[in-house]
A and B are shown apart, each in its own frame.
Chain A
Amino acid sequence: DVKVTQSSRYLVKRTGEKVFLECVQDMDHENMFWYRQDPGLGLRLIYFSYDVKMKEKGDIPEGYSVSREKKERFSLILESASTNQTSMYLCASSLYSGGIKETQYFGPGTRLLVL
């Protein structure tokens, strides 16, 4: 069974703080993703990574950065948290199989509240 874990289930931070969200997968997947999930908007892709030290912007990268120093770990960084970044953050991973698009496996989510 693929396991995707996220370091925190709930986080409360103050405006302007630097926030780190960590994600780890144990299935040697090449691809990792960060989404935010908001009611009425669904899931929106923030960043993704297809290999160590490689990253690509998703649809809403503004205010976020990412780091992937090891294959199993993908970090989302909020350089200076703002109240509009209050959301549920989901991490996902998938195996890249050449031209075949594999299923994405999701973590349990981190609910971030920025005060």
Chain B
Amino acid sequence: AQRVTQPEKLLSVFKGAPVELKCNYSYSGSPELFWYVQYSRQRLQLLLRHISRESIKGFTADLNKGETSFHLKKPFAQEEDSAMYYCALNPLSGGYNKLIFGAGTRLAVHP
């Protein structure tokens, strides 16, 4: 079954500390993976996608097919990073651009 697991409901860190938001997926093929973010009172928006191999707002994520993981990392957390983060999988088969989301991790960055 296709599934995305985010094991942490809440991750609480201090400003300047490194951050790693975990994401594991279950899919037999080669998926496309995303991180979406929702800041307080804002709409859900794309943060980054693995295929772009980019760094957005200091965040990076590397697809590890061996461990079926796509963890989101940032070396130095900022207070404005506090938000809800969702990992999502788009199976490359089946068409129609569907996304399967994880349960989300709330990141709280304290001053």
**A interface list, Cβ under 8 A from B:** 4, 31, 33, 35, 40-45, 48, 50, 56, 58, 90, 92, 94, 96, 101-109
Q: Is the CB of B98 within 8 A of A107?
A: no
Q: Does B17 contact A (CB under 8 A)?
A: no
Contact of B49 among A33, A96, A103, A105 (CB under 8 A): A103
- Write the chain A residue with the least CB distance to B32: A101
- Write the chain A residue with the least CB distance to B105: A42
Complex: A109 Cα to B6 Cα, angstroms: 22
A-B contact pairs, 26 of them (CB 8 A): A4-B43, A31-B96, A40-B9, A40-B103, A42-B86, A42-B103, A42-B104, A43-B101, A45-B98, A50-B95, A50-B96, A56-B96, A90-B44, A96-B96, A101-B90, A101-B92, A101-B97, A102-B97, A103-B46, A103-B49, A104-B46, A104-B99, A106-B44, A106-B45, A107-B43, A108-B43
Contact of A94 among B44, B45, B97, B104 (CB under 8 A): B97
Complex: A31 Cα to B98 Cα, angstroms: 9
Q: Is the CB of B43 within 8 A of A45?
A: no
Query: How many residues of chain B get a CB closer than 8 Å to chain A's CBs?
Result: 23
- Write the chain B residue with the least CB distance to A29: B97
Which residues in B have their C-beta under 8 angstroms from that of A103? 34, 46, 49
Contact of B102 among A42, A48, A96, A101 (CB under 8 A): A42
Additional 8 contacts, C-beta under 8 A, given A33-B99, A58-B98: A4-B43, A42-B6, A42-B101, A42-B103, A45-B98, A101-B90, A103-B34, A103-B49
Question: Whole-angstrom distance from the CB of B51 to the nearest CB of chain A?
Answer: 9
